[in-house]
Structure 1
Amino acid sequence: MSAPTENESPQVAFSDLALSDAVMAALADVGYETPSPIQAATIPPLLDGKDVLGQAQTGTGKTAAFALPILSGLPDRGKGGKGPQALVLTPTRELTIQVAEAFQRYASHIPGFHVLPIYGGQGYGPQLAALKRGVNVVVGTPGRVMDHLKRGTLKLDALDWMVLDEADEMLRMGFIEDVEWIFEHTPPQRQVALFSATMPSAIRRIAKTHLREPQEITIQTKTTTAINIRQRYWIVGGGTSKLDALTRLLEAEPFDAMIVFARTKKSTDELAERLSARGYACAALNGDIVQAQRERTVAKLKNGQLDIIVATDVAARGLDVERISHVINFDIPHDTEAYVHRIGRTGRAGREGDAILFVTMREKRLFKAIERATRQAIEPMDLPSIAEVNEQRVARFKQRISVALAEGKLKPFRELLDEYRAEHNVDPEELAAALAYLAQGDEPLMLSPGKADRGDRSAGPRDMGAQTPKSANKSKARQQSFGDGDLETFRIEVGRTHGVEPRNIVGAIANEAGVDSAHIGRIDIRDDFSLVDLPKGMPEDIFAHLKTVWVAGRQLEIQREDGAPPAPAAGRRGKPGPKPKSKSKKPGKAKAKPGKAKPGKKRAKPKSE
């Protein structure tokens, strides 16, 4: 492979790249004139028949970099009816659909062109029918492509091009063995283009094995994230939960559309539900949602019916919606590549974007790793102040009045109010204030400093579970009492044999329950469960949520341990449990006797206790 080359933004136009007339006509239709650096560097060698190894950050236009030369070469190389001439492998269903749509758009002036996206979650019937009729380009996920090859319903005898898009993501998702298998079932003379945002050793090994003297193109940038994305972080704490912090941002931070990233499928569902309850047009996007619903969700985000998507990394991979102005990392990603891919969902097509990262104190090391990988300092931020939130609320209220005045439908109401004033002799200003109160409803127009500073749940535009002042007061009192009193002992179903450490338990409970780590007492780690001392008065919704939280690959399944000894007044966490012999033995010898509990096994006592 040739040495990487650094490419500055070229002063060229698409008309300088020897693309076909049909492709140029399609580019004129969509208004594209100047190629991005990766496109300008990649299109000429692909048109010359060379293999290409391209590295550029997400959102730089890699799809057009391979789609345009393939479409330009179809009339010359097409073998017609013998099978697809091009195969594009993508890691996710969303990216598969996006790439297929791009091919269709760029081929709008090529008569008889057909592209077929194939992916899991879609029935085989439409795919089989399309393959039987004949297609020019197949875009698919590795698993479904393998299925069709094994069934004999997809034949690659006529294949001229093979493309790996987002190869590093395929590696992260465990698809590399599938990719290798597909490579082995392609003609030896096919032309290959491999594109990746990062270039791990496993990707380079594939390139060395399957690409022939490739032109290696690396688009050098000062950072691995786009310069038009403003990156900020907030340290979780100060009595404000992540959910309350997010709702404050939503109220005070102007945004068009937003993706909120959470770690787990369950978290996306729960967070989307809570944001919807607070009045936001929001939906979840994760792997458990059927494909048809996922496509409808993305379409709603594009057309403005939804403003917020709460997604997992995999579900949002390849999501390209121009109106996404903000990416919120509600949960910090486990690796730096995932962070780069996440924030690449904003700042698309040259627009400005904002990325905000929530970081707990125990995630500082991972945060620093992200800064090193992006070679960019992420700036700290403060949550919007109460004054800023109130200012936005007042502005929105005034805007509602302006809209109502502009619509000009006030005549019948004006007559009604004149009649009311004559009957009750009410001052016009008093009457207007009363109507404003009715329009606002039970939700206070202004936040009080006490509520927002304590991270009270009423910090959002709609108070979840607090529809009346009375219930709001109960919720407030419950939050204040939790963490201020005595301790009680809880049992969680994760222990020493699962590899858990005290810091894992503290981090999970502090983040998910909103308990300051200073209020978490003794942590007694046993073989297959642990005992934790937490403040009395845990709200039932937090208690129910903690049951579902995962630590060390297991759900906590937290329950009150009535039979445990009372918690010491100054209990400290991190000390070993009451089995010092087991702790002192070498690994593997603690279970020498038969009948001992095996890792992951539940205790014999029924779960219903």
Structure 2
Amino acid sequence: MGDAAVVGPGTWETIGLTGDLGAALIGAGYGKPTALQSALLPAIASERNVLCEAPAGTGRTVAIAASIAELVQDCEPGHDPVALVVTSSDERCGPIAAAVETCGAFIRRSSESGIRLGIVSELGTTASQEALLAKPLDVVIGTPDRIAGLIEADVLSTEAVEMLIVDQADDIAIGNSHDVLGSLLELLARDRQRVVLAAALLSPLLDLTADRLIDPLRPALPVTDPVAGKKPDQHAFSVIDANPAAVARTIALLGAETPGILVRADRVQTFRNFFATRALTATIGASIEELTGVAFSHVIVANLPTWTDGYAELLKMANEAGSESVVLLAAPTHRHLLRSFGRVGGVQLNAAPLPNEAGVEAMRTDRIEQLVRDQLTRVSAQPTPRFLQSVHQLAAEFDVADVAAAAMDLAHRALQREVKPGADLPLLLKSPAPAPPGADRRVQPSPEVTDPNRRRGAERRQREVEPGMIRLFVAAGYNYGVRPGDIVGAFAGESGLSGKEIGNIDIRETFTLVEVPEDSADDVISAMADGTIKGRQIEVRRERY
């Protein structure tokens, strides 16, 4: 296979795009090509077959759209499509179509402007898509099974197709449409171009393309290095629409006093109007450059960068601005992009649902319960607890459970009055301050225990486990809304361990300690490597002292 040289970002003109297309991209906010686009677009322009590793966050969608716009511009307009785009899911069709329309806006014909495109996927009826394909089209975008079915039914013609682009080919190759993709690659004449893009060049995909791509180019691209040094905390929420209301709710959860907000250029004024009418303070911009040089308590991103280089720039800007955290509002389809961002930021980015008001209240209640547990631990270490006599007096008049409930209600009201909005929520937590070398981050003595001998005893009591048991560390706590039932369900469901065999479960802010039989520990750890807790893959290992 032919390998192209590593190419760094240049300008749209230097990588061979026409002036009009480059201007259209700059006008849409794509000031310069990413490393992937700089390597991939010239390879596609060579009219050879291309096999390229193009993970999320590298700008592959714009690369697909720009290559189609170049092709359509060079072809005489006809009835049948000159390009087919096959992608792994219904959700990917829309973003690709939007990018194609943006890139094709400069194309002028005698009767109409832009690119004529159609989407065919499992979301639409066969009848409606057959009617769509009866119209003149330049490009058809769809899922493998639907495109193959329409070709087989002689509804979609491939006579004029000059280029087939396969997006997210690795997902297709390891899924149920593996054979369908092979058929589509074989369908076109040998002299027609095939472009196969994948987040990872997995063995099933390489086997599938081995005899179907003749001497493909393999563009190489530099990998964005992880951001070094200090970084703000990084979190993600899953939202259907990162609208002003969702951003305002995020600000309330964070207790963000001076947030910076990144939004799409066409939504800046909408956001500013929304915040102005509600007397909310925020700096709103459409680019990193607009927010550079301003101090922010938090940076909220309602318009995600389209490549990993952009995310690296975002982290550096937030760090220079003194931000505590960067919060991404991501659509459910952005999970691959978040994975790529996580590698650059050195974290695992999982998008938790943005809570509604009821969810916030439930989290606040969980927080109160944990505060009470922590306080009970401290009180039990005191020779004479401060309010013990008052509790005895109240217990003589009321049920002890009612006394406790009343005390928790008072604590809840006090937090609502005295704590900044969001500050008592376990949803987004600051990373713990670095501990001195050799310090134990997990076990802290109670503030009231000042005697060294008693403090060491308190630490030993917290570390002791029943004979035959061992403590496992789970890298999720109240920050992920974890409850004891979640731990028991995950461990029992994944490893076969009985719920009765699981010992004490100690849920903390950012982690959980779980006691399990020592002879079952390795089985639990192995099972949880592929298992999930509350829908997320979470690290489970032996506790380290």
TM-score by length of 1: 0.44
With the length of structure 2 as denominator, give the TM-score of the two structures: 0.49
